[in-house]
């Protein structure tokens, strides 16, 4: 049976400005794909990211280029060769997972040989602000397992210590989003230890990280912008201790699972991350989260209104979406 493909741009206003070292976001702009086979519909969502040369328009155009292939029944594996890694392929891949699950009457967890999804601890993000404002945000988060502290290069020590003082309990991930240089990374090691930071995420630009091969960090360093696809892993494994696998970077759950499995085989720690998005992006990522050491999937919590039936959060734990939302019967 032939399929019908539809794609559209959806925008979700945020409930507060999302500030990172790279800029400020006020809304999540996503690409939503639906693939129908008869009366059965699969959905997928992706977030085109300007950091990687993507836009909503370019993602929609890329999807349009493979419309005939998809509507004629292309598999997820065929898409790996038809499109490069990125948001467009992610939206299509996830829609096909959802469609296959509904057509077969199986959950995606069953399809990949894993147990049903359970609640998982996620990082709650403290966006860049003054140290006092960041301390207030950390204190308001309450007694949660994990906080992610967005910092820049202006005064990261004050930002980190302010959050730690206000929130003495949670594990901390510090994320400069490539805004630091080598000197700052070396200088701040003592602060990271003092603040009991569990993970430092992509401190320097992806193109300026070769020196990490000879560096012995006081806390593990996680690759984010430096890791997209399988071919990146060998170099990354010499420079980082953990990798952040995101569906939008890998180009879908199919490729992301391959990256995660190979990362484990290389002895790397695993983190599952996301862009600011709706729960339709998070639902497939939860299958990666189930095998990860660190989880950062709080994107929908920044939205004024999420998609109905999406994830919920309580006490720093994400609860899976309602049955039938994505990848389930």
Assess whether 249 carries a catalytic annotation.
no
| Alpha-carbon span 320 to 313, nearest angstrom | 9
> For residue 215, which phi and psi values (nearest 5 degrees)?
-100, 135
Catalytic residue among 25, 148, 246, 249: 246
| Alpha-carbon span 196 to 178, nearest angstrom | 21
Within its chain, how far is the Cα of 310 from the centroid?
16
| Alpha-carbon span 101 to 43, nearest angstrom | 11
Cβ atoms within 10 Å, residue 13: 11
Cβ atoms within 10 Å, residue 9: 13
| Alpha-carbon span 14 to 107, nearest angstrom | 31
| Alpha-carbon span 324 to 98, nearest angstrom | 10
| Alpha-carbon span 156 to 87, nearest angstrom | 31
Assess whether 150 carries a catalytic annotation.
yes
Q: Give DSSP secondary structure letters for 145-176.
A: SEEEEE--SSSHHHHHHHHHHH-SSSEEEEE-
CA distances from 242 to 121, 132, 224, 245, 266 (A): 18, 30, 9, 10, 10
Catalytic residue among 25, 148, 150, 249: 150
Are 246 and 274 in contact, with CB atoms under 8 Å apart? yes
| Alpha-carbon span 40 to 100, nearest angstrom | 9
Catalytically annotated residues: 150, 246
């Amino acid at each position: 049976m032939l399929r019908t493909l539809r794609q559209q741009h959806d925008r979700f206003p945020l409930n507060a400005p999302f500030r990172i070292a790279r800029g400020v976001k006020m809304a999540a702009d996503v690409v939503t794909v639906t693939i129908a086979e008869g009366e059965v519909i699969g959905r997928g969502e992706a977030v085109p990211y300007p950091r990687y040369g993507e836009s909503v328009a370019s993602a929609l155009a890329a999807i349009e280029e493979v419309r005939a292939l998809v509507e004629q029944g292309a598999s997820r594996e065929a898409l790996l060769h038809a499109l490069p890694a990125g948001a467009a392929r992610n939206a299509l891949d996830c829609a096909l997972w959802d469609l296959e699950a509904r057509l077969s009457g199986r959950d995606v967890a069953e399809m990949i040989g894993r147990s049903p999804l359970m609640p998982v601890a996620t990082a709650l993000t403290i966006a860049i602000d003054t140290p006092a404002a960041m301390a207030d945000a950390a204190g308001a988060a309450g007694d949660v397992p994990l906080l992610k502290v967005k910092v820049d290069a202006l005064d990261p020590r004050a930002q980190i210590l302010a959050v730690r003082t206000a929130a003495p309990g949670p594990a901390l991930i510090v994320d400069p989003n490539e805004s630091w240089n080598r000197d700052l990374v070396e200088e701040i090691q003592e602060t990271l230890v003092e603040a009991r930071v569990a993970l430092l995420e992509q401190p320097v630009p992806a193109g300026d990280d070769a020196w990490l091969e000879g560096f012995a960090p006081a806390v593990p360093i996680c690759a984010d912008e430096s890791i997209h696809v399988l071919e990146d892993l060998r170099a990354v494994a010499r420079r980082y201790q953990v990798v952040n696998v995101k569906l939008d970077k890998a180009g879908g759950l199919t490729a992301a699972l391959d990256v995660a499995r190979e990362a484990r085989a290389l002895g790397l720690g695993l983190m599952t991350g996301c862009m600011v998005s709706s729960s339709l992006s998070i639902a497939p990522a939860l299958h990666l989260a189930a095998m990860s050491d660190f989880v950062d999937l709080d994107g929908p919590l920044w939205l004024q209104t999420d998609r109905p039936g999406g994830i919920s959060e309580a006490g720093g734990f994400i609860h899976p979406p309602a049955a039938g939302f994505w990848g389930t019967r």
